[in-house]
Amino acid sequence: MKPAIKTREQYHFLFPIQTRWADNDMYGHVNNVTYYSYFDTAANALLIQKAAFDLRNSKIIGLVVDSACSFLQELSYPEIIEVGVAIKKIGTTSLTYDLAIFKQGQNDASAQGHFVHVFVDRETRKSTPIPVEMRDALTKFQIK
């Protein structure tokens, strides 16, 4: 059963990405694993741009523990896409993202899915609470 197709209006953060020559597979479209790279890039862009997350120097890091993608329409090189990012759930130590990939000029998603980051101490890899500042910055992107 196909999921309900997401639209641009459902996202307050859209991150543009230029597809690359290497993204295409032998069938002439973006390979399925590359969509996860787009999700990862956009989710981290939200953290960096909107929650002032310092990936290199933070004492905590986000590890991906779950992800899924529904492929609705082919992407290929060359295209500029936009990845919509929303926060589905803010837990004590985790963030669940709702993501969708849109072709330039199209309102309906070409792909959509979710992504879960669990935040851990950089050194010990033990789960750690999301800092209040990050939590506060991300609430404006949370789906109600």
Tell me the pTM.
0.94
pLDDT digits (tens, 9 = 90+) for 126-135: 999 999 999 9
Residue from 3, 21, 1, 30 nearest 109 by CA: 3
List Cβ neighbours of 81 (8 Å cut-off, separation of 6 or more): 16, 17, 19, 38, 75, 101, 102, 103, 104, 110
The mean per-residue pLDDT over the stretch 69-88 comes to 97
pLDDT, residue 100, reads 98
Per-residue pLDDT band for 3 (boundaries 50, 70, 90) equals confident
Q: Does residue 2 register a pLDDT over 80?
A: no
pLDDT of residue 15: 98
Q: Tell me: the pLDDT tens digits for 21-64? A: 999 999 999 999 999 999 999 999 999 999 999 999 999 999 99
Stretch 97-119: mean pLDDT, rounded? 97
Mean pLDDT of 60-82: 96
- Domains belonging to the chain, first-starting first, are 8-141 (3.10.129.10)
Q: What is the 3-state secondary structure (H, E, C) of 11-31?
A: CCEEEEEECCHHHECCCCCEC
Q: Are 135 and 91 in contact (CB under 8 A)?
A: no
User: Which of 114, 110, 92 has its CA nearest to residue 43?
Assistant: 114
pLDDT for the residue numbered 144: 76
Q: What is the pLDDT of residue 31?
A: 95
Tokens of residue 79, six digits: 């295209």
